[in-house]
Structure 1
Amino acid sequence: MQKELSYTIEEIAQLLKVSKLTIYDLVKKGELPVFRVGRQIRVGADDLDQYIQLQKTAPSQKIKAPAHVETTVPEFPSESIIISGQDIVLDLLGKHIEEISGLKTLRSYAGSLNSLLSMYQGKGDIVSLHLYDGDTGEYNLPYVKKILGSFPYIVINLLSRKAGFYVQKGNPKQLTDWKDLKQKQITLVNREIGSGARILLDEKLRIHQIPAKSIHGYSRIESSHISVASAVATGTADVGVGIEKAAKMVEVDFIPLTIERYDLVILKTPENARLIQAVKESLASAALQSEIHSLGDYDVSQMGKVLYETL
């Protein structure tokens, strides 16, 4: 059997120099055929080439999936939803949503702020957020209210978790507070712009009046909590900001500095009524709460609580 080359959604986004949400949107519209390997979505190289050629030769025509894949590609357009965020609990949530509603769940790993901005632009179905506002000390709602504006939406708590510093074993630099980042001998590893961890760091630097340019390594970017923790573990950085769970997966110490609230945002539209109900039922499920609690390092005491809802 000849081996067929295929790509992940992230790889295609990089090849075409667009966001992953743009690729997911093409999938949902049926313009880019896909297949599943377990829970992962992949696109065949031939199908990608054909999509590109069709865009070149007939940009005004609606692109349709090639006939040879129609019997094997899931029907995405009206029966799939996109959940943004990186935490593993979102995979568990997606599974329960599928069981309750029959909707297919796809994942986008974009950061909190970028996902919220995409929702404003009409992309994405469930956005997960952990955005700290330094002026109010509150998570998420200040950003949602400003960005979504007059959109109708609902904000529901998923969980709470600890965030803080990843440091090398034994904490040789003795980093215990945000103000310790003023030490000029510190080498930082950062997260990408728009991620919750990056916004938390930037807000704390602003509050403590620490210029970002004064911190060595501030411009070094990693795209996940695990990658940040790994950079600290290997000694290429002294400190990074992230959540407790990743520290236990990598050989680093964790210095807790805040409890962050991790919430879900969904637009309140007639089309989303079924989705909102499925999310509420999933979050109220003892089975899902038990699965998340068993992972450790998560507080599910407020899980499912509606924190804000427009009329």
Structure 2
Amino acid sequence: MHRLQFHYTLSRDSSPALVRNPLIDLLQAVSTQGSISAGARALGLSYRHVWGELKRWEQELGNELVVWEKGQSARLTEFGAKLMWAERQAQARLAPQIEALRAELERSFAVAFDDSAHVVTLYASHDDALSALREHALIQEHSRLHLDIRFTGSVDAIRALNEGRCVMAGFHTLQNTGPKTLTERTYKPLLQPGLHKIIGFAQRTQGLMVAKGNPLGLSSLQDLATRHARFSNRALGTGTRVVLDELLTQAGLTATDIQGYEHTEPSHAAVAHAVAAGLADAGLGIAAAALRAGLDFVPLAQERYHLVCLKSALAQPGIQALLQLLQTPAWQDAVACIPGYTAIQSGEVLSMRRVLPWWDYRQQKTQAIKF
């Protein structure tokens, strides 16, 4: 079975949308002109080039393409004729789809050639507000902002920022987490004052996603342990996993107290689906994911969702356009419509020490002197 590959070209010229292999043009010319030399002249190519290409394609495809005998016109083999037939059939059926694909590609590339448009690549923890922001930016007449969002775990998102794979990252932490906590141990090695800048985005509620009616009467992590509820967790490297482990510590519990702690899902939606399907009794997530899956939601904690970029990127036009959009009343009203969300200092560049209170600069300086 031979596989097809598609390629496209960029040009200033307006030309019809074509998905066509050069071999088809060679076969068409030879068949119409009756010889390789005449076909080559019709295409403006040399006899040697056309001969070599036909031989190369015969070797590639494992079949002869052209038959030529002394004193007779060259003609296509049965295989060559079937290739031509397949091309005509495909072109006739797919012409509208090919044109639609060309138009979509042109729309996408138009952004690259538009000096007033900006693309911001953002790696971020799964978040409904960010998805809403991406759509909100597209419908704003004057924003010209395109958010290229790749959802991943909070830790991986910040690493992507530090490795230059994006210009901004999104992560979330419990409110008011102090020093010597898992939150500090997780994020402090990844963030550096003077290098990174925190940007306010939203406050959201994390809680237990449970079946409709909450049949087990779960209202806390302690209930998960005492009632042996089956739990669906998030993977290492996700912000929600850090939040869970932080809440377990605060409740005096360990991972071994939670049945199903080792069972993980890749997103809030996947956890909600596991609960809705009866594969788990509960999972930690956001209210919006629970409501979409027809589940009940038990609030447990408030957290801040942060955006972070390098200080050197703050002046970039795309980042400036994003900050302006985040501060508009229209966007902040849109956030308020998402269950469990509130816009808090949205679009403001914030002090890392105030937002992440475990960053104690004086303590850092004291430790540096001791060493």
- TM-score band, normalised by shorter chain: 0.5 to 0.7
Give me the TM-score of the superposition, normalised by structure 1.
0.67
Residue 260 of structure 2 is matched in structure 1 by: 217
8 Å CA contact retained: 1:229, 1:252 = yes
Q: Partners in 2 of 1:113 and 1:211 — Cα distance?
A: 22
1:83 aligns with 2:125: no
1:287 aligns with 2:330: yes
8 Å CA contact retained: 2:177, 2:183 = no
SS in 2 for 1:130: strand
Residue 125 of structure 1 is matched in structure 2 by: 167
Bigger RCO (CA 8 Å, 6+ sep):
1
- 2:197 corresponds to which of 150, 154, 158: 154
Q: Given the superposition, is the C-alpha separation of residues 141 and 122 from structure 1 closer, same or farther in structure 2, using an over 3 Å criterion?
A: farther
Q: Partners in 1 of 2:341 and 2:313 — Cα distance?
A: 32
Distance apart, 1:207 and its partner CA: 3.2
Q: Partners in 2 of 1:120 and 1:240 — Cα distance?
A: 31
Q: Look up the equivalent residue of 2:149 and give its one-letter code.
A: R
- 2:242 corresponds to which of 172, 196, 199: 199
Percent identity over the alignment is: 30
8 Å CA contact retained: 2:203, 2:302 = yes
Kindly provide the CA deviation profile for residues 198-239 of structure 1, in whole angstroms up to 9, marking residues without a partner as x. 111112223334231342211211111121112112221111
Q: Which aligned pairs between 1:94-113 and structure 2 lie closer than 5 A? A: 94-95=134-135, 102-113=144-155
Q: Look up the equivalent residue of 1:116 and give its one-letter code.
A: I
8 Å CA contact retained: 2:119, 2:318 = no
Q: Partners in 1 of 2:313 and 2:204 — Cα distance?
A: 32
- 1:233 corresponds to which of 242, 262, 276: 276
Kindly provide the CA deviation profile for residues 153-175 of structure 1, in whole angstroms up to 9, marking residues without a partner as x. 22122111111111122222222
Q: Look up the equivalent residue of 2:317 and give its one-letter code.
A: R
More helix by share: 2
- Number of aligned residue pairs: 250
Query: Which stretch of structure 1 is more off in the superposition, 213-222 or 130-139?
Result: 130-139
Q: Given the superposition, is the C-alpha separation of residues 215 and 296 from structure 1 closer, same or farther in structure 2, using an over 3 Å criterion?
A: closer
Q: Given the superposition, is the C-alpha separation of residues 240 and 271 from structure 1 closer, same or farther in structure 2, using an over 3 Å criterion?
A: closer
Q: Which has the larger radius of gyration?
A: 2
- Unmatched 5+ stretches in structure 2: 9-101, 354-371
SS in 1 for 2:340: coil
More strand by share: 1
Give me the TM-score of the superposition, normalised by structure 2.
0.57
Q: Partners in 2 of 1:220 and 1:301 — Cα distance?
A: 33
Distance apart, 1:266 and its partner CA: 1.4
RMSD: 3.8
Residue 305 of structure 1 is matched in structure 2 by: 348
Q: Partners in 2 of 1:140 and 1:5 — Cα distance?
A: 47
